[in-house]
Amino acid sequence: MAVLELFPDAKLGVGPAIEEGFYYDFLLPRALAPEDLAELEKRMRAIIAKDLPFTHEKVSPKTAQTFFEKKDQPFKLELIDDFVREGATELGLEKTGEVFTDLCRGGHVESTKDIGVVKLLSIAGAYWRGDEKREQLERIYGATFATQEELDAFLKQREEAEKRDHRKLGVELDLFTFSDLVGPGLPLFTPRGTVIREELENFVQSLQVPMGYQRVRIPHITKKALYETSGHWQKFKDELFKITSREGHEFAVKPMNCPHHTQIYASRKRSYRELPLRFSEVTAVYRDEQTGELSGLSRVRMITQDDAHVFCRMNQVEEEAMKVWDIVDGFYAPFKMPLAVRFSRHDPDHFEKYLGTPAIWKEAEDQMRRIIEKRGATDVIDGAGEAAMYGPKIDFIASDAIGRAWQLATIQLDFNLPERFNLTCVNEEGKEERIVMIHRAISGAVERFMAILIEHYAGKFPTWLSPVQVSVLTIADEYIPYAREVVDALATNGIRVELNDQNETLGKKLRDAKLGKAPYVLVIGKKESEAKTVAVNSRDQGDKGSVQLDDFIRMIKEEIKNRA
């Protein structure tokens, strides 16, 4: 409403609520400047003070079309056409008093006076529908809270988050890069960034191998028929990258791994004595995300999944879910990220979004509810409508160092894919018995988890996870031979070390080491060379003085081993 007061001919795009507030897209006669936000805020506060009621009305697509034709709102008309193609027979119009009407499914406060305090945060460009060949719109981001105190706390957190932005730190620490030639949303990981990825993968492996998980490997493309059978094609075909072979066969680049894993299970007849079977894999999947929604490592087109699927009997579900829960608890403990639990259920009012039948969903959700109760989880978040399309989930919500919540690990129970792919085992009576699947992720998407960790630690990774664990500096060239001895001894003991023996001042070398955020810096001078010691400076504890090299190696190896 405020934008239309300033620009009566503005064309309205979309305006969803997002994780950190909301945005709205507009086609305007000119680009917005930062000072425009203050004027818009002023007008918004005036509108809020009018105490205008929100009312919702369901109308036919034809009525909605007529209304927005009169308002000359082409983007709304395009959305209406899409809804009609999808089979919509009625649409929602949300009215603010008698002043403003928008195309909206609804869910609003009763009146503008209930909105609270509003802050407009930033302006960005956004292509309509994320298509760079379409109109470029002005995207206005904002947030609203019930009280000024809540808004102030949010702005403080946001300021801290900007300092920790993984897109900035990732470049400064040489962890990843993007290339225009490779394409947006397709990150390239440097040697240092790859170290972090491999450490995370190795950590998960150390927890799941003792639980009986076996590694598998699958191709990155598949025939269309696999996803038609699984149901993914019907629901997600517009988000898939597709390939047509020279012979005219249609393939999809895999957006998930579970259908492939079902085919490994189905490759031969299975006895109940073999179950549970636990297949794990760290592999990339690909999704055709809209360009305007891509953001650093947080939203990408290549998503590396720490993925696993358990094929088991119904009476084994509880034990297997508990084992996954143990892995989750063990994995997140070193990161000091408290976990909350969300029970993600289906939305019975929109069953068209899911596979299976109401009876299957009731059985699956009852089973998951019993697991949560037996685990003794408290303050469980109700995730109505948050289930996957094939089954309910237990999601784990991690809190980072500045209090932001992230949905990461998940345990998902699936009766539907075993039904669709006819997955069975031969039971004790020699009969075919339908099995069930548990989908399991620990860190979730590796790229997104890396982004979260970079910001959680502000780039100061713990020693076990740091790409460079020790930086060795020389005071003068004459001490380079002993410095190389130190580097060789550390590397021999599996410690990631780098040597700065450049012809620069010690101050410059120390500043560079600080920017690199290595947990330990060892300074080598005359005293250290003669005594065969190292002068230790800890990133987190400061100057620790001179110690024997062997003592330092024992100390840091213990720290790495314990993931301290």
Q: Which residues pair with 295 in a beta bridge?
A: 299
The Cα–Cα gap between 90 and 84 comes to 9
Out of 76, 197, 260, 287, pick the active-site residue: 287
How many other β-carbons are positioned within 10 Å of the β-carbon of residue 279?
A: 21
Q: Catalytic site residue 439?
A: yes
Out of 270, 323, 345, 439, pick the active-site residue: 439
- Characterize the bridge pairing of strands 176-177 and 277-286: unpaired
What would the two tokens of residue 52 be? 């205008």
The Cα–Cα gap between 76 and 25 comes to 12
Out of 260, 393, 420, 517, pick the active-site residue: 393
Out of 11, 129, 258, 469, pick the active-site residue: 258
What would the two tokens of residue 188 be? 């390239």
Residue 399: how many CA atoms within 13 Å on its side-chain side? 7
Q: Catalytic site residue 287?
A: yes
Q: Which residues pair with 61 in a beta bridge?
A: none
Q: Catalytic site residue 425?
A: no
Whose CA is closest to 340, among 389, 409, 401? 409
Compute CA distances 327 → 200, 209, 287, 387, 432, whole Å.
Answer: 13, 10, 27, 21, 31
Per the listing, tokens 């170290």 go with 195
The Cα–Cα gap between 447 and 435 comes to 32
The Cα–Cα gap between 62 and 69 comes to 10
Out of 73, 208, 305, 367, pick the active-site residue: 305
DSSP string, 352-406: GGSSS-HHHHHHHHHHHHHHHHHHT--S-EEEET--BTTB-EEEEEEE-TTS-EE
Q: Which residues pair with 470 in a beta bridge?
A: 497, 520
Q: Catalytic site residue 456?
A: no
No. of helices (H) and no. of strands (E), the chain: 18, 28
Whose CA is closest to 280, among 202, 207, 199, 217? 217
Q: Catalytic site residue 105?
A: no
Q: Catalytic site residue 208?
A: no
The Cα–Cα gap between 369 and 297 comes to 33
Are 307 and 255 contacting, i.e. CB atoms less than 8 angstroms apart?
no
How many other β-carbons are positioned within 10 Å of the β-carbon of residue 267?
A: 8
Out of 11, 119, 309, 509, pick the active-site residue: 309
DSSP string, 397-456: EEE-TTS-EEEEEEEEEESHHHHHTT-EEE-TTS-EEE-EEEEEEEEEEHHHHHHHHHHH
Out of 25, 36, 306, 307, pick the active-site residue: 307
Q: Which residues pair with 12 in a beta bridge?
A: 26
Q: Catalytic site residue 307?
A: yes
Q: How many degrees, rounded to 5, is the angle at CA 33 between CA 27 and CA 35?
A: 130
What would the two tokens of residue 497 be? 């070390």
Question: So which residues are the catalytic ones?
Answer: 258, 287, 305, 307, 309, 393, 439
